[in-house]
Amino acid sequence: MINVNRLKERMLQMAEIGKTTNDGVTRLALSNEDKQARDLFMQWMENLGLHVRYDDFGNIYGRLEGNDSDAPPLMIGSHLDSVPKGGRFDGVLGVLGALEVVESILENNIQNERPIEIVSFTNEEGARFTPQMLGSGAVTNLFSKDYTYSRTDKDGFILKEELQKIGYLGSQDNRLDQENVAAFIEMHIEQGPVLETNHKTVGIVEGIAGFSWMEVVISGEANHSGTTPMELRRDSLVTASSAIKAIHEWARSKKDGTVATVGEINTEPGIMNAIPGTTSFTLDVRHPYKDGFTSCINEIRESIEDIVDEDSLTCNINEIKTHPPVTFAENITSTLEEASKKHDIPYHRMTSGAGHDAMYMNTIADTAMVFVPSISGKSHCEEENTHWEDIEKGVTVLYESVLRKSRE
């Protein structure tokens, strides 16, 4: 029904863009590599005769008309941007898997009632411009246009200008119509060990853990490294280290699926012979349950403040973005389940620890996701990998589900 070799060819061609030494990819949002990936994706869709467009946030859409062209479209897709030294499958599989589904529908002369739109969202990763999922969040009104356009990366580049630079600042009229999306299904690698551990081929994703991204800035006192007696120091990096260790131990002690990560740390003045006056670090906390989510985030914020107080330093915790856990639509997960059963594909109902554009699309349309296993559960690293046989089965489930939903 679908042609996994054709998909593999495209995936391998896409993986050449931003390729890193150990077979990973660095394709940061709105970078030159992202532009090349976008151009290639648009070309492939134009070659299929789809109506291709991109909106004022650079989200790209490819539309396959349906018999009932006024019906709200069924949308499928994901993102093309990556983290630095990321994997070749994260996001891309959802975009090119959707393309494979549409090409197979054309090839098999399937008459789809409902229009089908493939979508690739801008800046899903939040690796260059925080927060993550800016494109899908902006087009579902979770972020204002001004906020989105003004996001700035570490080198001071501004999102709107970078979008202009790569030629993807399109028209607002091209946005998806958030009042008129029938459903959204996102295919993605699991990025964790659950499917592999349970020996299942497809994950039917019922929801996504909530996340809170914040920046913790601890202020002490810069001073000379050679002349300042130890008992007089107010060393922000030492206090940050205690906080980071406490964060890790707190998350481990929760044993309820809570995870916490400090991915980035910076000190000022950041030189060998000066006591760090200021230390800032990022904090990414995830918690899977709606009730308990807010108290979980507040708990860790208070612990950090207590630790800083004990050292009589001060801290500011700047929230970047918090979104509670989401639950996906039963009518979509049951469609994915029926499709898996029809093709005897072993499946596992589960939730996602990773954030995805589906999190925000879930606020405007019936949404769910279909996962395929990540080998050794690895992702956001060059070792990210998935077996092509599993991909073939995952795309088959997506194809079968799209046929069912596009007939409605």
Q: How far is the CB of 271 from Mn ion (least distance, A)?
A: 34
Q: How far is the CB of 150 from ligand HGY (least distance, A)?
A: 20
* Cβ neighbours for 331, distance < 8 A, ≥ 6 positions apart: 366
122 binds, among ligand HGY, Mn ion, none (CB under 5 to 8 A by kind): none
Q: How big is the site for Mn ion, counted in residues (CB under 5 A)?
A: 2
355 binds, among Mn ion, ligand HGY, none (CB under 5 to 8 A by kind): ligand HGY
Q: Does 132 bind ligand HGY (CB under 6 A)?
A: yes
Q: How many CB atoms lie within 10 A of CB 225?
A: 13
Q: How far is the CB of 124 from ligand HGY (least distance, A)?
A: 6
Q: How far is the CB of 126 from ligand HGY (least distance, A)?
A: 6
91 binds, among Mn ion, ligand HGY, none (CB under 5 to 8 A by kind): Mn ion
| Interaction pattern, residues 92-131, with ligand HGY; x per rule: CB under 6 A | --------------------------------xxx-----
User: In terms of CB distance, is 34 or 124 closer to ligand HGY?
Assistant: 124
Q: How far is the CB of 347 from ligand HGY (least distance, A)?
A: 22
| Interaction pattern, residues 185-204, with ligand HGY; x per rule: CB under 6 A | --------------------
Q: How far is the CB of 125 from ligand HGY (least distance, A)?
A: 5
The b-or-e profile of 113-146 (16+ CB within 10 A means b, else e) is: ebbbbbbbbbbbbbbbbbbbbbbbbbbbebbeee
Sign of the torsion angle spanned by Cα atoms 286, 287, 291, 296? negative
Q: How far is the CB of 80 from Mn ion (least distance, A)?
A: 10
Q: Which of residues 176-205 bind Mn ion (CB under 5 A)?
A: none
* Cβ neighbours for 248, distance < 8 A, ≥ 6 positions apart: 260, 262
Residues in the chain: 408
Q: Does 135 bind Mn ion (CB under 5 A)?
A: no
Q: Which of residues 64-103 bind Mn ion (CB under 5 A)?
A: 90-91
* Cβ neighbours for 181, distance < 8 A, ≥ 6 positions apart: 72, 73, 75, 361, 364, 365
Pairing of strands 74-79, 183-189: parallel
235 binds, among Mn ion, ligand HGY, none (CB under 5 to 8 A by kind): none
Q: What is the DSSP string of 283-352?
A: EEEEE--STTHHHHHHHHHHHHHHHHHHTT-EEEEEEEEEE--EE--HHHHHHHHHHHHHTT--EEEEEE
Q: Does 82 bind ligand HGY (CB under 6 A)?
A: no
126 binds, among ligand HGY, Mn ion, none (CB under 5 to 8 A by kind): ligand HGY
* Cβ neighbours for 38, distance < 8 A, ≥ 6 positions apart: 54, 58, 60, 80, 120, 166, 168
CA distances (Å), origin 406, targets 104, 235, 242: 14, 61, 54
Element (H, E) at 186: strand 183-189
Q: How far is the CB of 151 from Mn ion (least distance, A)?
A: 18
Q: How big is the site for ligand HGY, counted in residues (CB under 6 A)?
A: 6
Q: How far is the CB of 211 from ligand HGY (least distance, A)?
A: 7
Closest CB to ligand HGY belongs to which residue? 355
3-state helix, strand, coil in the chain (%, to 5): 35, 25, 40
3-state SS of 85-101 is: CECCCCCHHHHHHHHHH
User: In terms of CB distance, is 96 or 315 closer to ligand HGY?
Assistant: 96
Closest CB to Mn ion belongs to which residue? 91
User: In terms of CB distance, is 103 or 125 closer to ligand HGY?
Assistant: 125
For residue 356, with 0-12 CB atoms within 10 Å meaning exposed, 13-18 middle and 19 or more buried, which class applies?
A: buried
Q: Which of residues 341-400 bind ligand HGY (CB under 6 A)?
A: 354-355
> Which residues sit at the interface with Mn ion, rule CB under 5 A?
90-91
> Which residues sit at the interface with ligand HGY, rule CB under 6 A?
124-126, 132, 354-355
